[in-house]
């Protein structure tokens, strides 16, 4: 085999190893986790457009303690009037809470949180200059309360005019700034979970990076590409953790139930 061919094969193997590795990184952890540890997940479910049962199976496979969901329908026409957060919570025997972005097709469209542990508070946070709300919840874990902020930031579509691009970029930056402000105001452990619709190193990303840990950057080497699920080439879905947590692992799970791949991270509260 010629040197160039050998190098090409090695490069492909490295790419496949990295891709596969980021998928399986979190599955080696034991199901009976320490009370100080949480498995967290974030997943844009595309309003269950490809079938809510596929979403349920993906969530079950993750075995997560808390699950943040984006693009969630509550009793809309397109989703057959199903309250998706409630249905998934019931199927997984988890508590649920929902925050609507806006009314849609006779129902509502927004973000949700599922939890094995009690959800002791839940607030819908609006952002000036944005149509998209944020879910600000507190979950009572065996090791204490954890604040969880579920986000879905505004997308900037390609090939749009400059004015529209500037408006959507500004909305997304305002959303990230609002999230960072909420997170900074938290005295205890806090997680930010969601679809940020932006890349690592972007202005959106940099709102959270100075004070929060990007879990997949810490323990996933930033390889956990999340969109498009058919062949993921960019990372726009994130698990952010305050420094109260030690990141044990982070990666994506394979699946085609949505156009996004879910991100799963194992986090353990540090000893005080």
Q: What pLDDT does 160 receive?
A: 84
Q: Give me the tens of pLDDT residue by residue for the chain, a chain 272 residues long.
A: 443 443 343 343 334 434 444 544 444 344 578 999 999 999 999 999 999 999 999 999 999 999 999 999 999 999 999 999 999 999 999 999 999 999 999 999 999 999 999 999 999 999 999 999 999 999 999 999 999 999 999 999 987 889 999 999 999 999 999 999 999 999 999 999 999 999 999 999 999 999 999 999 999 878 899 999 999 999 999 999 999 999 999 999 999 999 999 999 999 999 87
Q: What pLDDT does 15 receive?
A: 42
Q: Taking the mean position of all CA atoms in its chain, how far away is CA 194? A: 3
Distance CA 248, CA 271 (A): 14
Beta-carbon contacts of 105 under 8 Å, excluding residues fewer than 6 positions away, are 76, 77, 78
Contact 226, 189 (CB under 8 A): no
Q: What pLDDT does 1 receive?
A: 44
CATH number of 3-269: 3.60.10.10
Helices (H), the chain: 3-24, 52-62, 84-92, 162-184, 203-208, 215-219
CB atoms under 10 Å from CB of 250, counted, come to 29
CA–CA–CA angle 140, 143, 145 (5° rounding):
35
N- to C-terminal Cα separation, the chain = 57
Q: What pLDDT does 26 receive?
A: 44
Is pTM beyond 0.75 here?
yes
Cis, bond preceding 228 (omega within 30 deg of 0): yes
Q: What pLDDT does 31 receive?
A: 52
What residue spans define the domains of the chain?
3-269
Q: What pLDDT does 221 receive?
A: 79
């Amino acid at each position: 085999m010629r040197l160039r061919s050998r190098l090409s094969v090695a490069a492909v193997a490295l790419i496949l190893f990295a891709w596969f590795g980021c998928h399986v990184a979190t599955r080696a952890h034991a199901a009976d986790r320490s009370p100080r540890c949480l498995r967290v997940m974030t997943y844009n479910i595309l309003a269950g457009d490809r079938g809510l049962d596929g979403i349920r199976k993906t969530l079950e496979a993750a075995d997560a303690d808390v699950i943040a969901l984006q693009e969630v329908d509550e009793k809309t026409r397109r989703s057959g009037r199903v309250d998706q957060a409630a249905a998934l919570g019931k199927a997984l025997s988890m508590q649920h809470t929902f925050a609507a972005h806006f009314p849609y097709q006779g129902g509502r469209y927004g973000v949700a949180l599922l939890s094995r542990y009690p959800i002791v508070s839940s607030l819908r946070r609006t952002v000036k200059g944005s149509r998209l709300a944020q879910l600000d919840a507190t979950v009572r874990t065996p090791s204490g309360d954890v604040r969880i902020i579920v986000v879905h930031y505004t997308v900037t579509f390609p090939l749009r005019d400059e004015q529209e691009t500037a408006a959507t970029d500004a909305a997304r930056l305002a959303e990230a700034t609002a999230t960072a402000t909420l997170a900074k105001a938290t005295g205890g452990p806090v997680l930010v979970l969601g679809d940020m619709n932006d890349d690592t190193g972007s202005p959106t990303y940099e709102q959270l990076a100075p004070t929060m840990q990007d879990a997949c950057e810490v323990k996933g080497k930033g390889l956990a590409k999340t969109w498009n699920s058919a062949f993921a080439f960019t990372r726009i879905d994130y698990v952010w953790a305050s420094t109260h947590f030690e990141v044990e692992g982070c990666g994506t799970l394979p699946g085609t139930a949505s156009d996004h791949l879910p991100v799963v991270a194992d986090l353990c509260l540090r000893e005080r």
